[in-house]
Copies of this chain bind each other. A is one copy, B any other.
Amino acid sequence: MLAQSLTTLDYIAVAVFAITGALTASRKELDLIGFLWLAIVTGIGGGTFRDLLLQQPVFWIKEPTYIIVATVAAVVVYFTAHIPQSRYKWILWLDAIGLAFVTIVGADKAITAGASPVIAVVMGMLTASLGGIIRDILGHEPSILLKREIYISAALVGAIVYVATLSIGAPQILGALLGAAATFALRAGAITRGWSLPTYRPRPGRDFR
């Protein structure tokens, strides 16, 4: 039952990341195929790297439904992207949902593949952030990575919460809920209140390069 829930999370994550990819395409005024391409690559990018790294079969190869989900997302966005007042806000919020889900699925797939807790946390963090980073590189948008708000940290905390909850023997569904909630809450705080970690600051009065 839980494996099924995680599959559902995976579908939702692919859909929301695909929508953010298509919205990026709309900001760049691409054609329908550009929408499709960015939606597919953003939707499946993080999970594809996750499966390659864990040497598992790539999740969308055997199951074309993921591609169809991303395709539908691209087409819907192509015809509706003029409706929302700010597409950028939609990108931010859908990305936050996707981030929360991909973090849990990434950490969980790593544990299932027999990886240690440290690796599970890293896989959750890496695969959650990769989709957005690929989207930003391909769409020539400023990278999430270089922004000063909480983003990767939210995935890191969610992955730690999930792995820690499992390791004390709590039910997996509880860990998934707590982990996803932690990631989403931190990211929501960053979006609405500009939460950020202290950034590295060079000492004043010196010439740094």
Contact = CB atoms under 8 A, between A and B. Distances in A.
Protomer copies: 3
A30 B199 contact: yes
Interface string A133-161: 10001111001011010101100100000
**Which residue of A31, A35, A60, A156 has the most chain B CB atoms within 10 A of its CB atom?**
A31
A64 B34 contact: no
Contacts of A122: 40, 67
A119 B64 contact: yes
Contact of A203 (B48, B82, B110, B200): B82
Contact of A129 (B31, B37, B116, B197): B37
A55 B58 contact: yes
Contact of A119 (B53, B61, B82, B148): B61
A61 B57 contact: no
Given A29-B201, A33-B197, A55-B57, 7 more contacts: A32-B197, A33-B152, A64-B118, A67-B122, A86-B209, A137-B137, A138-B143
